[in-house]
Amino acid sequence: MRNWLANHWFSALWLLVWMALNAFLFAQTFLTYEKSDNYYYTREILGTALAVARASAKCLNFNSMLILLPVCRNLLSFIRGSCSFCNRTLRKPLDHNLTFHKLVAYMICIFTAIHIIAHLFNFERYSRSQQATDGSLTSVLSSLSRHEKHKDSWLNPILSPNTTVLYVTFTSIAGLTGVIGTLALILMVTSAMEFIRRNYFELFWVTHQLFVVYMVCLAIHGIGGIVRGQTKDSMDESHPHNCAQYYEKWGDDDSDCKYPQFEGKAPESWKWILAPVILYAFEKALRFLRSQQSIVINKVIMHPSRVLELQMTKPGFRMEVGQYIFVKCPSISHLEWHPFTLTSAPEEDFFSIHVRVAGDWTENLVRAFEQQHSLVPRIAVDGPFGTVSEDVFQYEVAMLVGTGIGVTPFASILKSIWYKFQHEDHNLKTQTIYFYWICRETGAFAWFNDLLISLEREMEELGKVGFLNYRLFLTGWDGNVAGHAALNFDKATDILTGLKEKTYFGRPKWENEFSTIATAHPKSVVGVFLCGPRTLAKNLRECCHRYSSLDPRKVQFYFNQENF
């Protein structure tokens, strides 16, 4: 637990501050509407549901202000670059931008439900008080709209006993925008479920564009001023503490209490969301302009296991290790953008990606390049964007764990290291790298072998044999492969990969790996980087906590995971 706090304290603090602000805004707004004299008469009709509706509305505004910020990828990349000198813990929240985006969305759903339920009670009480004929204070307040003299100072939005709640809902600005905005929110949230997002991406993308409808509805939701309070001038003439009990004599010539006057509260939602919407619009415009820049595909390589490598150039393109880009192929889909980690190094004069078939879109992309003759399919590129892998050189010791095509961010890192050694870069903080690659089939190793062989040779020539320690694990094999490897185990190079390091069959025993590294580096800070599935992430995170020393001067493991 102590190690977890040391690694994630700033992220935890960020979440606590966010939740505390929600609680503060809710409580402060609730008390304002529950205690304020301006809303004394409104409370007579609505009761506590008034304060609940307004408090949840304030929290909706606050979270709607935040919802777009975590998906402003250029902003996050700028912050990451500007904060490169910061402590790695301070950059942790940037690695969880999509998680925070989802949490804010869930909070919006919760407060939307509270807001709707509160207003259902409000409208029911509005309707009941409008139809009352008992001469009570609520009936008098509701009848103001029926008097010519007070028709502009109504308190009850249901203006007559013949007006239904359904009619007000679909004819008032507040009611109509509330219904449309809620439907848009429901469609966005349901289509963002992982199953739909992964299998029906275009449906997810299209419905998520309804955020524009949601934001517009939110901005104009309060224009109608349905929730009304007593005017300042009216408070001076007819303060509820002095006149509420004498409501039957309001307006009498011998009475000091006049009829109270009411006005709607000015809309404020637009003030909350204006700046984020402008920022997001600028983000989208920038991404659109960058996606329109011409891309030159220099080389197309089809590796074993149907792994497609594209080497490209683009004017003004600059990258850092571990970054990723979004790729679109208009001939496949005009809507779908897919993230791919860059496998090239910043020192190279091109940028590259490796694409493995993992769905309809990637299948169509690989097929398009397999079948191309003279005409290469056009692609658009947006990015690059920063990731947690940029921090790899901030650690003395790094553990890089990739599964299958998840090795791509580490290809960029290892290539960059190779170039740094070529140019004798003495500013490299990292002293040792442990690299683990877990694959299901032998063909998956093929496209990465050349780089590992070059690194092996380079480390030997520079006398840094211990700098790069790598383990290749094959999880899917038949008896013939295993038997053939066993018979040739005494050869200088591995029979499957051609590398000096032998291929292991099965999965790594992480407890042994962490224990060995902790023993070898008893006083080091070890960065653990994963690009792989959640189950493996959970295992590695637990090992990081278990094998970190309670003494902060001794070995500490910090877990980092790629998150698009």
Statement: residue 564 has pLDDT above 60: no
Q: In the chain, what is the greatest distance between 2 CA atoms, to the nearest angstrom?
A: 113
In a domain, 409, yes or no: yes
Statement: residue 372 has pLDDT above 80: no
What's the mean pLDDT when you consider all of the chain? Answer: 82
CA distances from 403 to 112, 473, 541 (A): 40, 9, 16
Percent of the chain whose predicted confidence (pLDDT) is above 90: 20
Summarised one tens digit per residue, pLDDT across range 392-442 is 888 888 888 888 777 777 888 888 887 777 776 667 778 888 888 887 766
Q: Compute the distance between CA of residue 427 and CA of residue 420 in angstroms, rounded to an integer.
A: 9
Q: How many domains would you assign to the chain?
A: 3
Q: Compute the distance between CA of residue 475 and CA of residue 516 in angstroms, rounded to an integer.
A: 22
Query: What average pLDDT does the segment 511-535 reach?
Result: 87
Query: For the chain, how many residues are written?
Result: 564
Domain boundary among 250, 285, 320: 285
Summarised one tens digit per residue, pLDDT across range 73-121 is 888 877 776 665 555 666 666 777 888 999 999 999 999 999 999 999 9
Q: What is the CATH number of the domain that holds 439?
A: 3.40.50.80
Pinpoint the alpha helices (H) of 172-268.
Answer: 173-191, 194-199, 201-208, 211-220, 232-237, 240-243
| Domain enclosing residue 206, as ranges | 2-285
In a domain, 484, yes or no: no
Same domain, 418 and 362: no
Same domain, 340 and 460: no
The residue type at 403: T
Q: Ramachandran region of residue 410, left (φ > 0), alpha (ψ -120 to 50) or beta?
A: alpha
Pinpoint the alpha helices (H) of 36-96.
Answer: 40-46, 49-66, 73-82, 88-95
Same domain, 428 and 466: yes
Statement: residue 25 has pLDDT above 80: yes
In a domain, 372, yes or no: yes
β-pairing, 307-313 vs 351-356, is: antiparallel
Same domain, 253 and 355: no
Q: Which two tokens stand for residue 329?
A: 């192929």
Q: What is the CATH number of the domain that holds 349?
A: 2.40.30.10
In a domain, 487, yes or no: no
Looking at per-residue pLDDT, the higher value among 449 and 491 belongs to 449
In a domain, 204, yes or no: yes
Domain boundary among 334, 351, 385: 385
Same domain, 361 and 437: no
Element (H, E) at 557: strand 556-561
Same domain, 539 and 400: yes
Q: Compute the distance between CA of residue 50 and CA of residue 227 in angstroms, rounded to an integer.
A: 8
Statement: residue 530 has pLDDT above 90: no
Same domain, 225 and 242: yes
Same domain, 380 and 437: no
In a domain, 437, yes or no: yes
Q: Give bridge partners of residue 382 from the DSSP assignment.
A: 326
Statement: residue 153 has pLDDT above 60: yes
In a domain, 486, yes or no: no
In a domain, 488, yes or no: no
